[in-house]
Structure 1
């Protein structure tokens, strides 16, 4: 068992029997002693676990050693019987001070360790809506629970060894997934595919470190020589394969921003409506109808695409329209891909050329719209943005839409098919840590090839091991955990 003392204030051990041991400690930061860190596991926390708003069911979740005791104080079963783990019971939540019924509920007690947090967990399933949920939560807090911090339920699952840090982050990715492909990628990470690959690479490095440490610490024992170059190369190749999946993986998780731009009345809003398969933007024959930026998300072959419909870019004296034009220019600057829409029923105008100049240098697709009308413009007649693909379509009739979606997919993925199996890096934090680990492994290879002492090689190998540990949590700091779990909603 190896130990790593963290500046963040608690001590983590490597995974032993798949359990991450955690010990809260006193620690010194910049020479000043502080108290124990905030990650206490011996109190009971509670929160509303379902989204804000009206719904058929709302859930209050309780986790900790007093969870069952709190339920006993508040819950009155319709048919009294002993609580059985993982079995729903029908009854009412009752204010113990007044005897008033607060809500009609189904309650379930789940005994540790077979729970989400590996603690005793209680869930109270009541009516959706903030009034009943807040009333139930208020009674739970009055009965001895503490309001959970954002992500604290999942943090406890991590600290108690049920999941590692990469899996904990995948929980949020599952919740936020916007496409089926993105959901499948998150579920693979939640299932441990990435973690298994990371631990495999980390273990290979630890094996090399063990050999080098024996050479350093026990020179009198005649430790047999070993060529570590093949092992280091295998680790480096393994890390490179994982990093190679990152750009496509992050597309599934984060998606891309696509801005639809063009002069007024070329059919930008009609195109947005067609892509969404429903009317979202107002469409009229009056130029300048769209005066602000509209955003909607669509699924293009599994990739979440945030489509931004912008105001027509032109010179205008209308103050409101001018603000919309400036926002359109900002949308171009922020977009990963620009759709420059032209009216194929009219010749090019000075405004078309001016907008194309603003798009110059950015990934773009030139869309020739209104092909259902008599043609005045063809792809060969468009002199600007020569590297941009040309797509002809009729937003009014829906013709050519499949070709546009195919072209968008090719532009944002380079035409590569998304992997459907195995480990996939979808998180920028993971990619950065993998790259640091790879850089340290390459540096260790150079040091070894130069014939330098083993002490120098171990410096980079320790750094590589720590970088990989940041992904799965073995070497995570308190600040890192705070950053990750603060993104979660309260109750998750």
Structure 2
């Protein structure tokens, strides 16, 4: 990372729009802008107060490139804590491209993905968990996932991690005092006190760790696959959930031959819902490919929704799928419940809990709300549905907390066995280090590169 370089990038999405923005950050930002911009008033940018929108033109060899508004933001009160210039031009593809090319010609370097946010982290404006929350805000698919990302961006997770690290620091301080000054007149921490403090810290870390499953769903979406035999109403169910005719519905078995993927918001939960081809034995080559894809998505799904036809008896294919979902997160829907039933529900109860068997009519949208309630219950588990809950949404954070829990367990075991304090100290230093990985206080350059590589250029 060349932190002293001046970087530039297009900060708005590609394509046509009302406004396009070229962002510049670094020591040369103002000089570059002064070199290519001429205000209508004739005054230099530096003659205006910072954060003033200045009307004028971008010029190349005295030829107008575009009519623009330029804003100069002076360090350290900027996103990156460096001097920043933002050029607001017309939102066409060529206008922003030409201005960026001119900025690069004058000495700036094209920013790497996420480099503006990376500089905000390296310059101490935000910690690493807040930096990662930036991309979560951008990618949020529901109001609730957006609120969780905003909370993290505002520092809710950072504050929680700091409290945990402070507790770990307190334990380490007591241990180190006892090691360094064994004969001095200082308060010597007993093994019993050390054990109690360790258990308290462990409980706090575990409580945060247990939000990770729900948090990951909020961030990435619940990968949900709809399975079942042909013509049981899978596509009708998808249409009922989406409240639109997204999938073709006919009475002909095998109509859906490929997977259909859609995102839908169910009670604040982003569902990546996949309608698959009906699972059955077939000689049709195209349908057979669809069936294989269905089986592949079935294996990777977070939630399986099995649709059965109430008007038909259970077949071997139905039983086979029921056996496969027995130990999975799954819901069974008995569709066409408005028709006379030929289906033996007692057999279904052998494979799945009764409360996860729901009678519906996809065509008439009967039972869809009950399905949505059950999905919400499965995700929230009754205790993390409030938007102000501090929640782990990132697999990296989850892994770091898991390592911290493993280390504190080792430390507690050592305390129980009255091991020497310097042995115990090693475990609690590990706890402190792993907690620091979440906030970025203890993190490697290689990991930073991996994290910010997922960002868009210009952010």
With the length of structure 2 as denominator, give the TM-score of the two structures.
Answer: 0.92
> Equivalences for 1:82-481 in 2 at 5 Å?
82-95=47-60, 97=61, 99-219=62-182, 221-227=184-190, 228-229=193-194, 230-377=196-343, 379-380=345-346, 382=348, 385-387=351-353, 389-481=356-448
Contact 1:410 1:416 (8 Å CA) reproduced: no
Separation of aligned partners in 2, 1:409 and 1:358: 23
Separation of aligned partners in 2, 1:286 and 1:100: 65
Separation of aligned partners in 2, 1:383 and 1:438: 37
The Cα of 1:375 is off from its aligned counterpart by: 4.4
Q: Is the deviation greater in 358-367 or in 240-249? A: 358-367
Map Cα deviations across residues 251-307 of structure 1 (whole Å, 9 max, x no partner). 211221111111222221111111112222122222212111111111121111111
Contact 1:313 1:355 (8 Å CA) reproduced: no
Separation of aligned partners in 2, 1:359 and 1:202: 41
Structure 1 gaps of 5+ residues are 1-38
Contact 2:178 2:189 (8 Å CA) reproduced: no
- Residue 306 of structure 1 aligns to a residue whose secondary structure is strand
Contact 1:62 1:123 (8 Å CA) reproduced: yes
Contact 1:258 1:338 (8 Å CA) reproduced: yes
1:48 pairs with 2:10: yes
Structure 1 pair 48/390, CA: closer, same or farther in 2 (3 Å)?
same
Structure 1 pair 386/118, CA: closer, same or farther in 2 (3 Å)?
closer
Aligned to 1:19: none
Name the one with the larger helix percent: 2
The Cα of 1:147 is off from its aligned counterpart by: 0.5
With the length of structure 1 as denominator, give the TM-score of the two structures.
Answer: 0.86
The Cα of 1:233 is off from its aligned counterpart by: 2.9
Separation of aligned partners in 2, 1:83 and 1:307: 52
Structure 1 pair 201/383, CA: closer, same or farther in 2 (3 Å)?
closer
Separation of aligned partners in 2, 1:343 and 1:281: 18
Separation of aligned partners in 2, 1:258 and 1:248: 14
Separation of aligned partners in 2, 1:384 and 1:241: 33
Separation of aligned partners in 2, 1:319 and 1:181: 43
- Residue 89 of structure 2 aligns to a residue whose secondary structure is strand
The Cα of 1:80 is off from its aligned counterpart by: 3.1
Aligned to 1:10: none
- Residue 271 of structure 2 aligns to a residue whose secondary structure is strand
The Cα of 1:183 is off from its aligned counterpart by: 1.0
The Cα of 1:380 is off from its aligned counterpart by: 4.9
Structure 2 gaps of 5+ residues are none
Contact 2:322 2:348 (8 Å CA) reproduced: no
Structure 1 pair 343/215, CA: closer, same or farther in 2 (3 Å)?
closer
